[in-house]
């Protein structure tokens, strides 16, 4: 921790871009030892993963965003997504990326309705009917704009599905 001066650093400086890794070895022959360094690429460079988690916790606290971190941990704890096995570390990663402010995030509407209703109460969302369920639901315009191969995440079942626009409503 001594190698990073946190006085001038912000959460954005340590925003998670992607995980990194490096295989290292010492010695020769049968005495050769292998180890692996896990890291995080950030706007300020590659940071060893254990240090990154420590720094993010400090920066979240300094920014007064512990409640948001708690909300993200609760949100991911309640998700049954096998692609996210480590819920707390994932919550820290997405917090550093400010995913809760990204209207393209598939959980933008339900998360913010639950934890920040004042943010979304006057927003207009796009009503769709997903082909998977056939049920009407709401997504953001950003989700429509970034629809991959004409598919968005269904607001009901979570499957990526083609959709039909219904109307724009509050």
pLDDT in tens, 71-125: 999 999 887 777 676 788 999 999 999 999 999 999 999 999 999 999 999 999 9
Q: What is the mean pLDDT of the chain?
A: 91
pLDDT at residue 8, rounded to an integer: 87
**The whole model's pTM is what?**
0.85
Q: CA distances (Å), 51 to each of 2, 3, 25, 61, 111, in order?
A: 10, 10, 21, 16, 29
Q: Is 140 a residue whose pLDDT tops 80? A: yes
- Where are any strands of DSSP class E within the chain? 18-26, 33-42, 45-48, 125-130, 136-139, 151-153, 160-169
Question: What residues does each domain of the chain span?
Answer: 6-101, 119-169
For residues 133 and 154, is the Cβ–Cβ distance under 8 A?
Answer: yes
């Amino acid at each position: 921790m001594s190698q990073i001066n946190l006085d001038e650093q912000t959460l954005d400086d340590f925003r998670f871009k992607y995980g990194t890794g490096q295989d290292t070895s010492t010695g020769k022959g049968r005495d050769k030892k292998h180890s692996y360094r896990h890291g995080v690429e950030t706007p300020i460079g590659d940071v060893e993963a254990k240090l990154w988690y420590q720094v993010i916790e400090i920066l979240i606290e300094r920014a007064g965003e512990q409640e948001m971190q708690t909300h993200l941990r609760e949100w991911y704890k309640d998700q049954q997504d096998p692609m996210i096995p480590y819920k707390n570390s994932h919550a820290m990663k997405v917090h550093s990326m400010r995913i809760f402010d990204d209207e393209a995030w598939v959980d933008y509407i339900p998360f913010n309705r639950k934890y920040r209703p004042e943010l979304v109460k006057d927003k207009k969302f796009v009503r769709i009917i997903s082909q998977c369920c056939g049920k009407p639901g709401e997504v953001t315009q950003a989700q429509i704009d970034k629809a991959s191969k004409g598919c968005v995440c269904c607001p009901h079942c979570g499957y990526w599905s083609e959709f039909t626009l219904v109307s724009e409503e509050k």
